[in-house]
Amino acid sequence: MIITFGILLVFFVILVVILQRIRYDEHSFSTYAVGDRSFGARYQAMSFLNTWYPGAMFTAFGGMAAASGVISFYVLSYSLLIVMLMYIMAHTVWVWGKTFDLKTQPDLFALRFQSHHIRSIAAVIGIISGIPWLVLGMQALGEMFRYLSLGALSFSQAVVLGVVVIGVRQIWTVKIGMRGVVISDYFQGIVAYIVGTLMLIGLILWLIYSKGVDFSQLPATHFSLPGIGSSEGPLYVFSLMLTGALGGWCWPYIFVRLFTANGVKSLKKSAALAVPLSMLFAVALLIFGMLGGALPEVAEHPSEVWFIVSHQAGGLWLLGLAGVILLAASMGHIDGNIQATGAQIANDLLGNYFKLDTRQLILFSKLGMLGLTLLSSWLACLELPALFTLAVLAYQGIIQLAVPQFLGIFWKKGNKYAAISSMSAGFITAVWLELHYPGSIPWAYGLTSGAVALLINLVIYISLSLLIRQTADEKQRVEALFRMIRHTPGQGQSMVSSVGERSAAR
């Protein structure tokens, strides 16, 4: 336990030294919330990966690969599809973000649909949906501490320790804001996805050459996907990938990555840098999980595959490193979630209805982060049997932002009535379906509740967009917004005065 916890302590001290050296600046809320849009491609790429792949990748998806096999690869497919989507929308979102000083995802909704209330509706959906995942992330850290304590800590004690560690880490998230998140993501990302990938490759080789494991030892069911006549339904994998790919950009802490880059070129270059790394990491993790599943100890506890194999292959030292890698991945996700939520509480909830100056916005953002950290820490220490169900439900709910978000970016016709009605109806439908048919809908051929609701959401958005015509003013305003993205950023700036006054939805 001294070795495993000692290695974690060394990592944490290095991280604190890095965080302490970061200059922090609160001259504007943009500086605090989006780091002054100052980050280049390498920081963007690592920050995206560190927020996107949480520590649960090693437990939940590593475990899924061990228990269920090749179906777990759907996570990689949708993780790469969302980068493709980023590449497609980077130009529009960044130019609008820079021109109108957008700081959060709901800011973009408010700009595009010129609605005061849509900002708060989108923020509430984002904040509520994010909390179960934050709590799950903290509990996953508890699982890690329990394993690394070699049985010395009970699960409750380990969860409390995990909460304390991640709570202490949030001191710097609250203090420095986005700059601290992105810079620490760079270090954490190198540890989690570069060192992590190298370790995974080493463990795969160990499994093959020392334990004699290969794919032929795995059951045939590990290589099949649900098709026609399967219990999951023929559209199950399609549904998982579609909702994953569209839903990825609905999470506020992912979307805000589009606002932290110092230009469109950096964003697009970050996509090109992130995808090879993302693919190597996830392929290594999933193949490792599948091969690890052949070990009898892993078959009994598939979600512990990362710890069991590391421990067997390299003893306590490698187990300690496995803990560091998982901790680095977890921190990136939790920090990003808390930072984005704090910014939304100040900017999109309080700031939407009260006139707040920069100092007040930053103060409320910090208080929001603090409150969220305390709330999540408290929830993580409770026994919540339905938490995972809530987290799944949250995903089905948050993807309902996808229709107004993507059609708002790529189609001029949408309006605020269509956006608010479609996402609200989609959210309610997803919740209703999930409550009445938990897990799967028997008549939907494997489509999840979120996918069915997405279809209804889409029909409503398109219908209302066509039925309720934009006013002449609104049409002109939207035309100008879209015209702006066909110009250079410099030319776009010249249109700010004509579009910006009417677009300032606040």
Binding residues for another protein, per CB under 8 A?
70, 73, 76-77, 80-81, 83-84, 87-88, 91-92, 95, 215, 223-225, 227-228, 234-235, 237-238, 241-242, 245, 264-265, 268-269, 271-272, 275-276, 278-279, 283, 485-489
- Positive or negative, the CA dihedral 398, 412, 239, 241 is negative
The full DSSP string for 377-424 is: HHHHTS--TTHHHHHHHHHHHHGGGHHHHHHHHH-TT--HHHHHHHHH
- CA torsion through residues 156, 158, 163, 164, sign: positive
Q: For the purposes of burial, counting CB atoms within 10 Å of the CB of 496, is it exposed (0-12), middle (13-18) or buried (19 or more)?
A: middle
Residue 10, amino acid: V
- Please give the Cα distance from 46 to 49 (Å, whole number): 5
**CB-wise, 215 or 437, nearer to another protein?**
215
Q: Provide the minimum distance between the beta carbon of 272 and another protein in the complex, in angstroms, as a whole number.
A: 4
Give, rounded to a whole angstrom, the gap between the first and last alpha carbons of the chain.
54
d(CA 183, CA 191): 13
Q: How far is the CB of 461 from another protein (least distance, A)?
A: 20
Beta carbon of residue 35, minimum distance to another protein (angstroms, whole number): 21
Instruction: In angstroms, give the least distance from the CB of 492 to another protein.
Output: 8
Q: For residues 151 and 155, what is the distance between their CA atoms, to the nearest angstrom?
A: 9
- The residue (of 75 and 136) whose beta carbon lies closer to another protein is 75
State which residue, 84 or 382, has the beta carbon closest to another protein: 84
Could you tell me if 399 and 246 are in contact, meaning their C-beta atoms sit under 8 angstroms apart? yes
- Beta carbon nearer to another protein, 182 or 275: 275
Q: How far is the CB of 46 from another protein (least distance, A)?
A: 16
Token code pair at residue 342: 């704090």
Residue holding tokens 């292959």? Answer: 313
**Residue with smaller CB distance to another protein, 379 or 403:** 403
Q: What's the CA gap between 118 and 409, in Å, rounded?
A: 15
Q: 411 is written with which tokens?
A: 């189609």
Instruction: Specify whether the CB–CB gap between 412 and 478 falls below 8 A.
Output: yes
CB of 455 to another protein, least distance (A): 15
Rounded to a whole number of angstroms, the minimum distance from the CB of residue 420 to another protein is 28
Q: Which is nearer to another protein, 75 or 464 (CB)?
A: 75
Q: Which is nearer to another protein, 214 or 297 (CB)?
A: 214
Using alpha carbons only, give the angle 498, 92, 37 rounded to the nearest 5 degrees.
90
Q: Confirm if 346 and 361 have CB atoms less than 8 A apart.
A: yes
Which tokens hold the place of 410?
């790529």
Tokens 């700081």 locate to 103
User: Least CB distance from residue 181 to another protein, whole Å?
Assistant: 24
* Nearest distance in Å: CB 198, another protein: 19
Paired tokens of 336:
């990003």
Nearer to another protein, 89 or 124 (CB): 89
State which residue, 125 or 499, has the beta carbon closest to another protein: 499
